Amino acid sequence: MRSTGGLLTQTPPPTPHITIGREAAREAARDELSKPAYHQNDPGLIQRALNRLWDWVGDLFDRASGATPGGALGLLAIAAFALLVTAALWWRLGAPGRTATRAAGTLFDDGVRSAADHRTAAEALAGEGRWNEAVQERMRAVVRSLEERTLLDPRPGRTADEAAAEAAASLPTHAQALHRAARTFDDITYGAHPATPEMYATLTTLDQALSHTKPLLTGPTP
């Protein structure tokens, strides 16, 4: 105690100096910050994963735009061009899974039917508006009719392109129409292109014209 103007006052005890190590302070801070009260508004696991994904995509885009002439605008132009090329290839060749099928695609399914049978099936399908199948059956009728007339040798596994090329030798006036018909068959069968009533009408006209055309017979040269 000390005296001030005749009054006695009590001197407070000195504040003890607390010493805490660095590791202990870190642990204390970690324990404090791990309490639920500090994490009520934290994003969930899925949100955190999405945030990391978008951060990675943004970083990748930034690096690519920096290395591309024209920056971000040039990168967008390249991406747009790539999409256009992909779309063009898809339209021309069809789905990637069908490429091998188209290369080895045969004209006829299992079983042998006459040209008349194929024509009947084609007409029924056309009447139902099932143009893809109608065009396929009419093309099969064309080729089967040529086989029945012995202008083509019956051969399992023949493709529409092969049939058109072989038939053109004895029916040269219809060579272009035969090749167009084969391309139409391939496009709708293996290229996923939709058939139209006009395609079917064109094939029907070709079928009728071939049945009335005399072939150019070529025999061995004496």
Average per-residue pLDDT in the chain?
A: 75
Kind and range of the H or E run holding 3: strand 2-4
In this predicted structure, the answer to whether residue 18 has a pLDDT above a threshold of 60 is no
pLDDT in the model for residue 104: 42
Cα 213 to Cα 173: distance, rounded to the nearest angstrom: 9
Cα 167 to Cα 169: distance, rounded to the nearest angstrom: 5
Q: What is the pLDDT of residues 98-109, one digit of tens each?
A: 444 434 456 776
Percentage of the chain modeled with pLDDT above 90: 38
The better pLDDT of the pair 73, 175 is held by 175
* SS3 state at 8: strand
Over residues 85-92, the mean pLDDT reads 62
In this predicted structure, the answer to whether residue 185 has a pLDDT above a threshold of 50 is yes
Cα 193 to Cα 195: distance, rounded to the nearest angstrom: 6
The better pLDDT of the pair 93, 131 is held by 131
Name the residue type at position 15: T
The better pLDDT of the pair 154, 89 is held by 154
Query: Is residue 113 a contact partner of residue 147, using CB atoms and an 8 Å limit?
Result: no
Q: What is the pLDDT of residues 122-174, one digit of tens each?
A: 999 999 999 999 999 999 999 999 999 999 988 888 899 999 999 999 999 99
Q: Give the model's confidence band at 191: pLDDT under 50 very low, under 70 low, under 90 confident, else very high.
A: confident
133: buried, middle or exposed (CB in 10 Å: 19+, 13-18, 0-12)? middle
Query: Is residue 174 a contact partner of residue 168, using CB atoms and an 8 Å limit?
Result: yes
Helix/strand/coil percent split, the chain, to 5: 65, 5, 30
- DSSP type of residue 12: P
Over residues 47-54, the mean pLDDT reads 72
The better pLDDT of the pair 12, 149 is held by 149
